[in-house]
Amino acid sequence: EWSAAQSFWSQNSRNAERSTLSTSTTIVEVPMELPRVSMVNSSLKKLKFHLASFDMVDKERTTATTITKGT
């Protein structure tokens, strides 16, 4: 009895043998980076910047500079 991986590769290798390849050549322009990846990277950079800005503002508001009576 075959494992799931063995069945998968056996079936795919048989399908590859049956498929016919095109004899013509196709030239395709491929971007250096996929749009999704660049969008995610850009969003992460913006988020990191905003979180750093928030952290600085939060520290300024919560850091006690003077001690007053009664508080």
Indicate the domain borders of the chain.
Answer: 4-70
Q: Which residues of the chain have pLDDT under 50?
A: none
**What amino acid occupies position 56?**
M
What's the rounded Cα separation, in Å, for the pair 19 and 58? 62
pLDDT of residue 36: 78
| DSSP character at residue 70 | T
Burial letters for 38-60: b for 16+ Cβ neighbours within 10 Å, e otherwise?
Answer: eeeeeeeeeeeeeeeeeeeeeee
Residue 5's pLDDT is 78
**What percent of the chain has pLDDT above 70?**
48
Look at residue 67 in the predicted model and tell me its pLDDT: 60
- C-alpha to C-alpha distance for 61 and 38, rounded to whole angstroms: 35
